[in-house]
Amino acid sequence: MSYLVLDGLTRRFGAETGVFGLGLGVEQGGILALLGPSGSGKTTTLRMLGGFERPDAGRILVGTEDVTALRPERRHFGMVFQHYALFPHLDVGENVAFGLESRGVGGSEAARRVREALALVDLAGFERRPVAALSGGQQQRVALARALAPEPRVLLLDEPLSNLDPALRERTRRELRALIRRVGITTVIVTHEQEDAFDLADRVAVLAQGKLEQLGTPEELYRHPATPFVGRFIGRSSWIGGTVLPDAADGVGAVVVEGARWRVRLEAGRPLVPGPCALLLRPEGVAFTTDAARGVPATVTDRRYAGASTFYLAQTAGGVLLEIAAPGAAAVVGQAVRVAPVVEPAGPGDGVHLFPPGPA
């Protein structure tokens, strides 16, 4: 039973932009990430959750309460804004106390809860500091303490890590994850960074053009992308066209790719349609081979060393660029090679995914 429910949420800004019939649920204490490129509607969704944007249709439920029409100040959701939106004219303590005062908590009780909230984000004793004197990371933690102090029902985070430099980002992400889990609050995070979504959330909703593409755990999204968009958006991938032959058995079909013949296993329950198809290849799902029947002829155009493995780019005779992860000495630039799936027959878990043809 989901605690926070988005039911057919719709907000139109035009024919193409907005959010269209979004349905999602988050368990009590669950962490959901809304992941998508800019314009996917993830920020609009978060703003509808916060009450800053009125949906044209659909409902938002918390437990059994319909909060769709509730103004932000009555909703009792905490929000951390992308640029933190700290009140520059108030000090750290006053910022954190703001939400408590709004709910009629004052005096020593407020002071105690401000102290607790600041201790929670590791800023004990920062009460009287002006917010302008804080570093970016500290400002973010104050924003978090401010949002959490009134003990909201749901925590909303808008691109929580986008304002931090890469070194700080890694550490902050770890701390943020630990903190949210410790507090145990139902949380929705908006981000365009796959890494942030995967690290922070239990479940990730991938959005594109205002619609839900797929909801799942990070592993499900990577290993079992439901749509070409998810396949392309999550993780590294190359795409190549092929033709599915009509002779299939046990969900395993034969696909002809630039003259080579691959055996591909389908996602469970998906029908195999003979004819043209598009194949998503993960770099670790393909390798160099000497097998002339299975290997697609290609020329290595680039080699990039990345520690654990080396990434090769190989251009096929058909002009498609494939990315291959292989040991460091597998090939040199300019070498003629053949590329084939590592596993035979290759299935979704093996980094080879079959999709209907289309604009990949």
Partner 1 sequence: MTPARRGLTALLALLLAWVVAYPLLIVALESVRGQHGEWTLAYFQRFLAEPREWRALWASLWTSVASVGLAAVLGVPLAFLFERYEFPGRRLIGALVALPAVLPPLVGVIAFLFLYGETGFIARLVQAVLRLEEPPWRLEGAWAILLVHAYSMYVYFYLFTRAGLAQLDHAALEAAQSLGADRWRTLRRVTLPLLAPSLKGAALLTFMTALASFSAPYIFGGGFRVMTTQIVFTRLNGEYGMAMVQTVVLSLLGLAGLWLAGGGATVARAGGKGVAPRPQPIASPALRLLATIGGWTLGVFLLLPHATLVLLSFVPVGTWTVETFPPAYTVANYVQLLTEPTRLRPLGNSLWMATLATVVAMAVAVAVGLLATRKRAPLAGLVERLIAVPWLVPGTVFAVALASAFSVHAPWVARIILVGTVWILPLAYVIRNLPLAGRAVLAGFRALDPSVEEAAHSLGAGRWRTLRRVTLPLLRPALAAGATLAFVTALGDFVVSIILYTYDTRPLSLEILSSLRQGDVGVAAAYGVLLMLLSALVFALGSEREVVAR
Candidates 4, 36, 77, 324: give the one binding partner 1 (CB under 8 A): 77
The amino acid at residue 303 is: R
CB of 105 to partner 1, least distance (A): 10
What stretch of H or E contains 157?
strand 154-158
Closest to 255 (Cα-Cα) out of 315, 340, 350, 319: 340
Q: How many residues at the interface with partner 1, by CB under 8 A?
A: 34
Candidates 8, 69, 71, 275: give the one binding partner 1 (CB under 8 A): 71
Cα torsion angle, 67, 70, 74, 80, sign: positive
Residue among 109 and 291 whose Cβ is closer to partner 1: 109
CB of 132 to partner 1, least distance (A): 4
Distance CA(68)–CA(62), nearest Å, equals: 10
Q: Is 206 helix (H, G, I), strand (E, B) or coil?
A: strand
CB of 91 to partner 1, least distance (A): 10
Residue among 3 and 98 whose Cβ is closer to partner 1: 98
CB of 67 to partner 1, least distance (A): 13
CB of 47 to partner 1, least distance (A): 8
Which pair of tokens denotes residue 102? Answer: 């709004």
Residue 151-180 contact track with partner 1, rule CB under 8 A, x = bound? -----x------------------------
Helices (H) and strands (E) in the chain, counts: 9, 20
CB of 77 to partner 1, least distance (A): 6
Which residues are 281's β-sheet partners? 238, 352
| Interface with partner 1 in residues 26-65 (CB under 8 A) | 50-52
Query: Is residue 210 within the footprint of partner 1 (CB under 8 A)?
Result: no
Residue among 81 and 239 whose Cβ is closer to partner 1: 81
Residue among 138 and 237 whose Cβ is closer to partner 1: 138
CB of 86 to partner 1, least distance (A): 5
| Interface with partner 1 in residues 125-154 (CB under 8 A) | 130-132, 139, 143, 146-147, 150
Query: CB–CB of 189/205 below 8 Å?
Result: no
Which pair of tokens denotes residue 326? Answer: 């292989």
Phi-psi region of 307 (alpha: psi -120 to 50; beta: other; left: phi over 0): left
Residue 84-123 contact track with partner 1, rule CB under 8 A, x = bound? xxxxxx--------xx--xx--------------------
Query: CB–CB of 138/96 below 8 Å?
Result: no
Could you tell me which residues come within 8 angstroms of residue 329 by beta carbon, excluding any fewer than 6 positions away?
none
Which pair of tokens denotes residue 267? Answer: 């996602």
Closest to 205 (Cα-Cα) out of 11, 45, 79: 45
Residue among 23 and 130 whose Cβ is closer to partner 1: 130
Q: Which residues bind partner 1 (CB under 8 A)?
A: 50-52, 71-79, 81-89, 98-99, 102-103, 130-132, 139, 143, 146-147, 150, 156
